[in-house]
Amino acid sequence: MSKKWIYILLTGLLLFTTAFTVIKIKENYFDYPDYWPVPVYDFKKNPVTKDGFQLGRKLFYDPILSRDSSISCASCHLQATGFTHVDHDLSHGIEGRIGTRNSLALINLAWNESFMWDGGVNHIDMQALQPITNPDEMDSSLLEVVDKLNDIPEYRTLFYQVFNDSIITGQHTLKALSQFTISLNSYNSKYDKYIRKEDHVTFSQQELSGLELFKINCSSCHKEPLFTSTEFKNNGLSIDPTLNDYGRYRVTRDPLDSLKFRVPTLRNIQFTAPYMHDGRFESLREVLDHYTTGMEYSKTLAPELNNKIELTSNQKTDLLVFLKTLSDFEFLYNKKYSFPRTFN
């Protein structure tokens, strides 16, 4: 064996033993596995700090963001359900008002190039503006929120600690919220531990079969390791005449974008029901039935879905069993992300 081959073999062995184990701790509150892609978010413009994260967390759980101080971000983004609103097909607002889309799960947002089902929001800092100002959600304005915050000495102190300015501004309010939401990273599911060969985690025959089926039928859009391609696709849903939502077309005005919506992450998908932009499916079984027998074919349909997906009932069960391995209980019950009864 030549020296070159020995070198390659040794490098391979080294990679095999070291890769897939180390978790990068970029900041106190932002970490992710080292084999993941580099986040899109520019941390230089808004470095996540302990105090900034805690301030963002306090704001996230504070109903002061809504006009009548009745609902907070957490009203529709509950931690235990992957930071989305379980059992509600469309998002809720103040005074029982109802929006037009299903609230998205807030998971691994630092890898998103845009936000919302249609990608209309171009930066996570600006994401909070939408629910704060939407009449069907919090029905307030950033000015109103900042005025209310400036009246509270505790907030002025906290903002001073983070931004060195006790006059609270819109920019700082949005950046503080970003420091919390950008840190909601999920990477400790059974699947992750299986991939990292951690804690002696093994997959059952059913889970292995589900993973294979997933790779064949789903992973071109729900790409590992984030389980989304962060693209917009028409996945063959028929139009709901009570909503007439054409998705990304509203943003780009490009007919080629008609009926396209964000490919959502499948992480913690077991708990983020109902599914799709309008929450039309209550269970994952219904979602799989849609892909096998419910597809509506149209001009903008994702090319990945042109070939009919065929799955037997048993295969669907295997796939569902696999999808449950994407549940990350360390994320869903991490006290770091929960309602801040006390700081720390």
Partner 1 sequence: MYIGGIKEHVLNREEVLVVKIKPTFNGHSFTKNTWLITSQNDSIQISKLRFYLTNFEFIDAQNNSIKIPESNYLIDAFDQETLQFDLKTIKKTNFKHILYKIGVDEKLHDAGAQSGALDPINGMYWAWQSGFINFKLEGKSPSCNTRKNKFTFHLGGYKMPYSTTRDVRLDLYNKEKYIIIKMDISSFFNDLSLTDINQVMTPGEEAYQCSLQLPQLFSITNE
Q: Which residues contact partner 1 by CB under 8 A?
A: 42, 45-46, 120-126, 129-130, 132-134, 141-143, 146, 169-172, 174-175, 178, 250-251, 253
**Is 222 annotated as belonging to a binding site?**
yes
**Is 172 annotated as belonging to a binding site?**
no
The amino acid at 86: V
CB crowding 322-343: b at 16 or more within 10 Å, else e? bbbbbbbeebbeeeebeebeee
- From the list 327, 286, 279, the residue with the least C-alpha distance to 80 is 327
Distance of closest approach, residue 24 Cβ to partner 1, in angstroms: 23
Distance of closest approach, residue 10 Cβ to partner 1, in angstroms: 45
Nearer to partner 1, 125 or 278 (CB): 125
Nearer to partner 1, 64 or 121 (CB): 121
Give Rg (Cα) of the chain: 22
CA 176 to chain centre: 18
Nearer to partner 1, 125 or 328 (CB): 125
The amino acid at 319: L
Distance of closest approach, residue 45 Cβ to partner 1, in angstroms: 6
Distance of closest approach, residue 61 Cβ to partner 1, in angstroms: 20
Which residue is listed with tokens 């992957």?
82
Distance of closest approach, residue 31 Cβ to partner 1, in angstroms: 22
**Is 221 annotated as belonging to a binding site?**
yes
Report d(CA 173, CA 52) in Å as an integer.
10
- From the list 149, 153, 157, 102, the residue with the least C-alpha distance to 275 is 102
Report d(CA 264, CA 231) in Å as an integer.
9
Evaluate the omega torsion of the peptide bond into residue 225 and state whether it is cis, within 30 degrees of 0: yes
Distance of closest approach, residue 132 Cβ to partner 1, in angstroms: 8
Whether the Cβ atoms of residue 80 and residue 271 lie closer than 8 Å to each other: yes
The phi, psi pair for 232, rounded to 5°, reads -115, 130
Would you mind telling me the total number of residues written for the chain in this entry? 344
What are 125's two structure tokens? 């800092």
Nearer to partner 1, 165 or 282 (CB): 165
Which residue is listed with tokens 């996945």?
235
Q: What are the distances in angstroms from CA 208 to CA 205, 228, 241, 323, 325?
A: 5, 20, 40, 11, 10
Distance of closest approach, residue 17 Cβ to partner 1, in angstroms: 40
CA angle 4, 8, 9 (to 5 degrees): 115
Nearer to partner 1, 99 or 294 (CB): 99
**Is 76 annotated as belonging to a binding site?**
yes
Nearer to partner 1, 146 or 269 (CB): 146
Nearer to partner 1, 46 or 189 (CB): 46
Binding-site annotation, residues: 73, 76-77, 218, 221-222
Binding-site annotation, residues for heme c: 73, 76-77, 218, 221-222
